[in-house]
Amino acid sequence: MNQPTPQSQEAVSNKGHDLAEKLRHGTQFLGHPSAVGTLSFMNLCNGFAYGGMNAVLIYFLYKPAPEGLGFTQAEASQLISLYSTAALLCGLVGSYMADRVLGPRRALRLGRITTCLAYVVLALPFLGVVGYAANQILLCVSAMITGRSVETLAGKMYDKQDKRRDGAFSMLYIINNVGGVAPLITGTIALATGYYPAFALCAVFAVLGAAFYLLTEKKFFGPIGDQPDDPVAPAKRTSFTVKMIAGIVVVVALIGILLGAKIVSIGSFATTISTCAIFIPIVYLAYILMSKKTTRPEAKRLSAIIPLYVCNVFAMWVWTQSTSILATYADTTVDRNLFGMTITPAAFQTWSAILAVAFGIIVTALWTRLGDHQPTVVTKMGFGTMLWGAGPLFMAIPFVLYPAGVKVSPMWLLVFYVFIMLGEAITSPSGYSAASLVAPLAFSTQMMTVWSISQSTGAALNAISVNFYHEGSEAVYFAAIGGITILVGLIVLLFTKKLGKVITAQVDTDRNA
C-alpha cells in the first residue's frame, strides 16, 4: 500500500490553502463570501424558530391542560429563566468541544441536527410535559456541542486585515433579529389553533436552516473550520467525549428523579442553579486573568473590561424581565384590543425584533458616519446600560398609576421596549468588540464565550429576583431593577477616561511591539 509522501501532503495542504483564500475573497453574498450567506440564512431560520418558541412558551407552561402544561405563573417564569441560564452555561462546554474536539464545522452540524430534534419533540401533542422536558434537554445539549461556532466560522471567513469583518457581524446580528417576526406569527397561530401547531412551524424553520447548512457546507466553506484549532490527542478526545455523554445522562437522570419525585421544587432547584450560575462566569474570567498563558500586559487590559462585564450582566437581568414577568403582564394586564381585533401577547416580542433591526441599522450608520469621532466603547457601554435601566424604571409607573385588575394601554410595554432595544443596539456590538479587543492571545475564542455567558449571570439574577415579585410589590420591584442598572451605567461613564486609557495604551503598545 502506497504511503503519502511529504511532497504529496504539501501539495494537498497548498491546494487547501489556495481554496480557502479563494473562498475568503468571495463577494457572492452582498459583497461577502457565500459561506456568510449560509450562516445568515441559518441565523434567520434559527432566530425564527427560537423567537417563535420563546414568545409563546411561557403561556404554554402556565395555561391549564389540555391547552398547556398547567404550571403556576411563578413556576413558568422560573423555568424560562432556568433554561436561559443553563443554555448559556452549556455554551461554555460547547466552545471547548468546538475548539478542541469537533472543530466549528462539525460542531455546528451536530448541534443544528440536535436543535431540529428539540423542536420536533416539542411539537408532538401526545408527549406533553415529557416533550417539553426533552426539548429543553436537547437544546442544552445542542449548546454543549455548538458553543459560539457560528461566530467563529464567520470570523474565519475573513483575513485579519479584511475590513468587511465588522460588517459581517453586524449583518448577522440584524438578520438574526429579522427572524423576530416569528412571535407575531406563532402567537397568532397559538391563539387560533393552539400551541402545538405554533411549535410545529418553529420545527419547520429549524429544519430548513439546518438543511441549507448541510447542503452548502462543503462547497462554501471548503477546508475552513473543518478541524479544531487546538485539538486534543485522539486518545484523550475519545475519553472526553465518552465522559461528557455519560455525564449528561447522569445529570439528566438525577434532575428527573429529584423533580419527578418532588424531592425538590421547581423554585428551589431554579434558585440553586441560578446561584451557581452567578459565580461560574466570574470564576472562569478570574481563571483567564490569573492563567500563566496570560501575559501581564494582557491581564491589565483584561481587567479594564470587568466593569463592562458587569454592565452586560445587568442588561441581561433587564432583558429576562421581558421574557418572563412582562410576558405574563402582556397576557393578563395589557388591553390587547386594537382596532376591534385582539392581538396576541407574543406580538410584543415581534415589536422588540423590529426595533432591534431598526436601531441596529441606525446605530451602525451613525458610528460609521462619526468615524474616529464616535464615542469610545466604554462610553457606549455606560450610556447603553443606562438606557437598559430606563426600561424597567419606566415600567414602574403604570403599577403606581393603576390599581390591580385594571387593563392598561399597550403603550407602556411598547415604550419599555424602545428603551431597552436602543440600549441593546448600543451595548451588544460594543460589548463583543471590547471582548475581542482585550482578549489574551491564548484565550481569544474562550473570551468571546465568557463574554456571552455573562448573560447567564443576568438570567440567574432574574430567576432569584422573581421570588420577590408579588402583588403590591411590582412598582418597587421594577424601580429597584431600573435604578440599580442605571447606577451601574453611570459609574462606568464616570470612569470612561480611566478605563479607556488602559485599553488604548495597551493596544498602542501591541501595535508598536
CA-to-CA distance for 62 and 266, rounded, in angstroms? 13
Residue 163 has a pLDDT of 66
Of all helices (H) and strands (E), which one includes residue 335?
none
**Other beta carbons within 10 Å of 28:** 13
pLDDT for 55-64, tens place per residue? Answer: 889 889 988 8
Residue 423 CB neighbours (<10 A): 27
Collapsing DSSP to helix, strand or coil, 357 comes out as helix
- What is the C-alpha separation between 435 and 308, in angstroms, rounded? 9
338 forms bridges with which residues in the sheet? 341
Residue 314 one-letter amino acid: F
Q: Residue 131 corresponds to which cell in the numbers above?
A: 416533550
Give yes or no for residue 11 having a pLDDT over 60. Answer: no
Supply φ then ψ for residue 336, to 5 degrees: -100, 20
**CA-closest candidate to residue 412, choices 400, 397, 429, 390:** 397
SS3 333: coil
Quote the CA–CA distance of 30 and 368 in Å, as a whole number. Answer: 18
Give the model's pLDDT for residue 8: 47
By 3-state DSSP, what share of the chain in percent is helix, strand and coil, each rounded to 5? 80, 0, 20
pLDDT confidence band for 413 (50 / 70 / 90): very high
Given this model, what pLDDT does residue 115 score? Answer: 94
Lowest mean pLDDT among 11-15, 96-100, 342-346: 11-15
Band of residue 509 on the pLDDT scale cut at 50, 70, 90: very low
The C-alpha atoms of residue 343 and residue 330 are separated, in whole angstroms, by: 10
- Domains 26-231 and 276-513 fall in the same CATH topology: yes
Give 449: exposed, middle or buried? Use CB within 10 Å, 0-12, 13-18, 19+: buried
**Residue 511: what pLDDT?**
41
C-alpha–C-alpha distance, residues 453 and 432, integer Å:
12
Name the grid cell of 127. Answer: 408527549
| Max Cα–Cα distance, the chain, nearest Å | 84
The fold of 26-231 is Growth Hormone; Chain: A; (1.20.1250)
pLDDT at 513 over 60: no
**Whether the predicted pLDDT of 465 surpasses 50:** yes
pLDDT in tens, 115-174: 999 999 999 998 988 999 899 989 988 888 887 778 778 878 877 667 676 667 777 777
Q: With left for phi above 0 and alpha for psi between -120 and 50, is residue 375 left, alpha or beta? A: beta
* Cα 161 versus chain centre, distance: 27
The DSSP code for 264 is S
Let me know: does 102 contact 227? Beta carbons within 8 Å: no
User: What's the whole-number average pLDDT of the chain?
Assistant: 82
What's the sign of the alpha-carbon dihedral 341, 346, 352, 358? negative
Query: What grid cell was written down for 215?
Result: 447542503
Of 25-34, 110-119, 320-329, 382-391, which gets the smallest average pLDDT? 25-34
- 70-84, 230-244, 283-297: range with lowest mean pLDDT: 230-244
Alpha-carbon distance of 479 to 486, in angstroms, equals 10
- The torsion defined by the Cα of 331, 186, 456 and 144, in degrees rounded to 10, comes to 150
pTM of the model: 0.72
Residue 365 burial by Cβ neighbours in a 10 Å radius (0-12, 13-18, 19+):
exposed
- Yes or no: say if 168 and 38 are a contact pair by the CB < 8 Å rule: no
pLDDT confidence of residue 504: 62
Specify the pLDDT at position 333.
87
Mind listing the pLDDT tens digit for each residue in 171-210? 777 777 777 778 778 888 988 899 999 999 999 999 999 9
CATH number for the region 276-513 comes to: 1.20.1250.20
The domain spans of the chain are: 26-231, 276-513
Q: How confident is the model at residue 2 (pLDDT cuts 50, 70, 90)?
A: low
Read off the pLDDT of each residue in 73-87 and give the average, rounded to a whole number: 78
Q: Give the integer Cα–Cα distance in Å for 349 and 327.
A: 9
130 sits in which H/E element = helix 129-146
